[in-house]
Amino acid sequence: MTVSVLIVDDSSFFRRRLSDMIATIDGLSVIGCAENGVEAIALTKKLKPDVITMDYEMPVMDGITAVQYIMKECPTPILMFSSMTYEGARITLDSLAAGAIDYLPKNFSEIASSSVQLKKRLADAIFDVASSGKKTTVAVELEPVKAPDPILPSRKKHKVDCDVVIIGTSTGGPIALQSVLSSLPASFPKPLILIQHMPAAFTTAFAERLNSFCQITVKEAVDGDRLMPGVALLAPGGKQLIISASGRIKVLPGDERLHYKPCVDISFASAANVFADKVLAVVLTGMGADGCEGARLLKQKGATVWGQDEKTSVIYGMPMAIAKAGLTDEVLALEQIGPRLIQAT
């Protein structure tokens, strides 16, 4: 089955090069192009594409506004193109909050050179986004923290004896993390570590965004940070985060041999080595299987592993991998995870 793509960008050069590149990818076809957000909305209704690639900075109507209208009127998986700057990160995070599924860096020099690597990243991203169907990740208006929902009788005994909560995620993760963390009170008694697949230019802005929505403290991790109750440390993009034997955070260079930087498996494995069974690991939405081998090590130490369910996952890859491997102690809907963390700790 061919995945139909609508390209939205005010640059005729970018539209043409992207169209030419997609035309050479088996299983993809371009069914239309738009120069601004207004045209994008009209063509989405008319052509009903499987995936939209969306620029942000356009005349008449910008990309974020277009995403908001499309998700309200004709929900369609959207892949944003983003500049790798602090401002680009902020805009991209706003786009994800509006309902976009994922993003790719917008690099004119790379697309002009017909990069083989770019073609592969583009194909992978479009197919991944298409596999999400018409799921959206629109952030709801945040409200004051409510008391957790009643816990089913079978779960009442399941308190978790842990010294740290570590959460791994990828595609769909920014809004999933916002949902989970914003439900935690400032008095949350455990330290948290967050591993989100994200480029280096994005994690500072992402940590600031999370911190602005949450009662707990969220910050980008730096080498030597201590784990503290009610503080969530976000792994820096492009690097690896591990926990040292002393319990302090170590931020290491991103190993080029590793596909993910940061990598959930590596952080999970270090938590298993230091805290053994005193770890509560949570795997949220994301493509691929990162976190599965780390979860296996955690389970060998007697730690607890939770996974997000398929229905509320934007991409049911990472949580599916640990579920199929028989590593999950609990499978939870996204909206249940925050209240369950409060109840369990």
Annotated catalytic residues are: 170, 197, 290
- Amino acid letter, 7: I
d(CA 204, CA 219): 8
Q: Give the H/E segment covering residue 80.
A: strand 78-82
- Token digits for 239? 């690097």
Closest-CA residue to 151 (of 160, 142, 164): 160
Phi/psi of residue 217, nearest 5 degrees: -95, 130
Are 88 and 103 within 8 A, CB to CB?
no
- Token digits for 257? 């041999």
> Can you spell out the DSSP letters for 272-313?
HHHHTTSEEEEE-SBSS-TTHHHHHHHHHTT-EEEEE-TTT-
Centre a 10 Å sphere on the Cβ of residue 273 and count the other Cβ atoms it contains.
Answer: 15
Are 165 and 188 within 8 A, CB to CB?
no
Write the CB contacts of 124 (distance below 8 Å, at least 6 apart in sequence). none
Cis preceding-peptide flag for 77 (omega within 30 of 0): no
Radius of gyration of the CA atoms of the chain, in A: 20
d(CA 2, CA 127): 10
Write the CB contacts of 14 (distance below 8 Å, at least 6 apart in sequence). 55, 106, 108, 111
Closest-CA residue to 130 (of 2, 218, 280): 2
